A and B are shown apart, each in its own frame.
Chain A
Amino acid sequence: MIKIENLTKVFRTSEIETVALNNVNLNVESGEFVAVMGPSGCGKSTLLNIIGLLDNPTSGFYALNGVEVSNLKEKERTGFRKGKIGFVFQSFNLIDELNVSQNVELPLIYLGISASERKRRVSEMLERMNISHRAHHMPQQLSGGQQQRVAIARAIVTAPGLILADEPTGNLDSKNGKEVMELLTELNRQGTTIVMVTHSAHDASYAHRVVNLFDGAIISESSNPTMLM
């Protein structure tokens, strides 16, 4: 599903040049659950941004579902991303002005889906995430775990093939964190490819494979023998 070869990302300012990713090679098969680990500033989020088509690499090759996407323009990236990739953020990133169902509905609107169909899908998704009773609540009225469940509902409402999660349990207590990880595992079991950035070895243990980044380069990759099912 994801094929990355010699991928480099350099951030330049007038004075300094920072190599965020240095000749990264990574393949992620469809249906895989990959955890990306590494210390702060090693390039994990940059890699996730590029995989999620939020940013372009400076050089190298990146193909998603067999299509080279490394040099797409912003508009093309948006078009490619729409409905195919779901994002889950550490800080949930729900829109404060919209209620739960409106937040979940958001990606469907940009896909141009009809209002009745949107309503049906949102309702289904909220049921699935056990938050239908909170459909008309505003994000500020929810607990951290509930907010993250809404965020995951929003990420998967379009049934994307790929979910990118950036430290999805980083702002949650262990109980809610566990719930979220189980949710992601469940999604993966249903066929969704997941790439997750995490600092937590425990969270990483849910993944099939762990990729270790250091100073912008992959220093090790290991399949996960202790994978929690």
Chain B
Amino acid sequence: MFGTVYVCLIRCIIIIFSLFFSMKQIFYSLQTMLNAKWTNFIKIISVSLGLFATLLLFLFSAYNHSFDKCYKDYDNLYQLWMIWNIDGKENVPSQKCIGKLAGGVFEEMNDVIESAATCIRSGSILYSDNKEFEAQTICADSLFFQTMGIETLSGNPIQDLSLPSTIYLSDYLAHEMFGDENPIGKIVSLDKTEILTVKGVYKGLPNNITLNHDAVISLPTIWGRYGNYSWSGGDSWNEYIRLKKDVSVSHENLLMRINNVLQANAPDTEDVKIRVDARPITDTYFSDSRVKQEDIIISILALILFLTTIFNYILITLASLSRRTKAVGVHKCCGATDGSILRMFLWETTIVMFISIILIILFCFVMQRFMTTVTLGQLLTSDRLWIVIVIFALFFLIGGVVPGRIFSRIPVTQVFRRFTENKKAWKRVLLFSEFSCTAFITGVLAISTIQHSFLMDYDVGYDSDCLAYGFVNKECADWLESRQYVKAVTNSASMPIWGYSGAMMRNESGKTMFSTRYDFIWPNYFDVMGIQLIKGRMPNAPTEIVVNERFVREMLWNDSVIGRTIPNTEFYDMMTVVGVCRDFNIGGFIGEQKPIALLPNLNKNMYDVTVVRLNQPVKENLKRLNAELEEAFPGRDMQFYDMGALVKNSFAPLREFRNYVLVVTLIIMFITVIGMTGFVRDEVQRRRKEIAIRRVNGADSSTIIDMFVSSTLKIAIPATVLGSVGAWICGQYIVGMFSIKPNYSNAIYILSALVVLILIALMVVMLIWKASRENPVNNLKSE
């Protein structure tokens, strides 16, 4: 069926081209392609797949590099970073700054700074008329839009955002919530806790920004909830400054002045020194080492895939050398110049590219369904079209010109004799490259699969499988306790997967040690969450806390832990450690395990997150819970969500990365098999006389097979070694992206190299099988 479609397609193209072009080279190219239908079909499929995946990967990399470039004059926009040095030990730079930094810096440096803004992430669910809308919100000050360079479509943000209970919606969220109605003056609520009035609408931002938000809430709204907006501690704020356009200031000078402002307001102590860095906002996304490493790997994969695609195209084209020499010679005898022959090959490449483009568009439609974290429309924007053009241009120039030049330079005298192309160096180099790429990508696939499986099986330190979470009030929490399918109910301020707020910790002598993450929990929290208490007990008093193992290590408590005291905390003057829990993951799997302090909520006050442990079957019970909630609390629109699914979803970027590698591996393997098939067939054609003579002189088919396998392995073994070394280097990057690393032996690379070699050998045996058993007389006759 494919063959018929292919022939029809080619015939249509012949007609179209014949109508619009008189150039006979096109006709000859098409005729030649039709004559080798299967070869060209395979060639087109491999080029389409190769270029499609190459484009996707390069576009993805370009997308990564476009983060935060949507802001007006983004070159002048800087984010403030804080580097804490505690007791001589410098922490990694943090995006979270102390509250008053940006405002203070703006006040003191308004000769160079046009504007500054401070913001903090807040809830992700808005309600309007009891309808729920998933929307990422942030709380920001009145200069936020001006500083970031975000266009406001209505409202006066400088005035509005300085008042409490005010919200600005992005244009798309406003449309989603209120349709064509004017949103100004509408009332919405944040997590059913804050009542907000819509005072303005701003132009929504694309996905490729580091500070995502669908709505901006005025900062005064949350003063009660997030109190530490000061010069001391409270390192929870994202802060930005916009430099004046017409003022020139060196980066060193800018940093010096900012740090002077900080010193004036939050001077260094003996133990704690803080330094501020101002980085262009476009650097923020790549400040995450995982993103940087992933981008490097994606770029390497794209480059390797692109080279493999081109090499394979050249290899398949060159593989037809012995078959096509005669035609080239005849053309030349009839008056064709080298240029005419080159043009014929360029036309051939053009036709292949033309059909490939059609197929690539089809692949795009199919692929669209499987892309989760980023859509094709987000990748392929008009400003990134140049990537598509460059990829195709390079393919045309290399894939078309190189074989075209080789063919056009065939000495015309060869047409009088059978042309035996002895210079195999080209083909060997190309095949070597393909084998190297295959070994490389197989090794990379092996290691990323190991990492992925390891993370999927990784014990996060709590059991999220039967848990559901929601945002409910005390009345509802009590109601939940009475449900027979609800095993237990608990509450906390945040969830491990979202991460916790930070607070400075001091040791017993008052020395600042580190910033711990902390949460407020109900007494039954560990039981419900499945967190293991390994020492001591749960707190019985407000001043008692439970810490994790990392906390103990950071405090350098080598001996007994229970009963240790922590002075001068943000919460109480003195707190006592009464228990140690096993480390559990917070904030995802990328960063290191963090120290955690869990403070008791003995009165069972309601903080943001309520967690329930459900009986089996969880899915049905969760459904039932939500249905009954709706009935029991009509109009309150409270809902519970599957925590297990949320935890699993946090693997989505890794899964997508692993899928990218898997797809690239399959494509490269497919391309390599095609390239190798062409090479071996060409070798059989070239050496058919030799095979026949060997057969006549007593060689059996196994000797012939052995001969071809050995000659192919001579190329494959060094190529595979090289590819595996590359995979090993790349593997270090991949594993380095995660704080949680699997234990694996480097033998995995040797094993994957062996798999590649065995596959190559098997392929050669399959391809040579028939030729090795052919009657030698036939081959000698054709001589």
Contact = CB atoms under 8 A, between A and B. Distances in A.
Interface in B406-446: 411-413, 415-417
Interface stretch (A73-81, A141-149, A221-229): A73-81
A115 B27 CA distance: 14
Contacts of A55: 411-413
A106 to B, nearest CB: 4
Nearest to B31: A97
A154 interface: yes
Nearest to B33: A97
B326 A98 contact: no
Interface string A154-181: 1000000000001000000000000000
A52 B416 CA distance: 12
A98 B31 contact: yes
**Which of B22, B31, B412: most chain A Cβ within 10 A?**
B412
A58 interface: no
B333 A87 contact: yes
Contacts of B331: 95, 106, 110
Interface residues of A, number: 30
A71 interface: no
A72 interface: no
Contacts of A102: 31
A115 B32 CA distance: 21
Interface in B329-374: 329-338, 340
A95 B330 contact: yes
Contacts of A81: 333, 335
Contact of B335 (A45, A98, A107): A107
Contacts of B332: 54, 78
Contacts of A87: 333
Contact of B32 (A48, A52, A97): A97
Given A97-B32, A98-B31, A106-B331, A166 B416 contact: yes
A219 interface: no
Interface in A23-55: 45, 48-49, 52, 54-55
B24 A109 contact: yes
Interface of B: 22, 24, 28, 31-32, 34-35, 326-327, 329-338, 340, 411-413, 415-417
Interface of A: 45, 48-49, 52, 54-55, 74-75, 78-79, 81-83, 87, 89, 93-98, 102, 106-107, 109-111, 115, 154, 166
The 4 closest A-B pairs by CB, nearest first: A110-B335, A82-B335, A107-B334, A97-B31
Given A95-B331, A106-B330, A110-B334, 18 more contacts: A45-B416, A49-B413, A54-B413, A74-B338, A75-B338, A78-B336, A81-B335, A83-B335, A93-B326, A93-B415, A95-B326, A96-B327, A97-B32, A97-B35, A107-B334, A107-B335, A109-B334, A115-B22
26 contacts: A45-B417, A54-B332, A54-B333, A55-B412, A74-B338, A78-B332, A78-B336, A79-B337, A81-B335, A87-B333, A89-B415, A93-B326, A93-B329, A93-B330, A95-B331, A97-B34, A98-B28, A98-B31, A106-B330, A106-B334, A109-B334, A110-B340, A111-B335, A115-B22, A154-B334, A166-B416
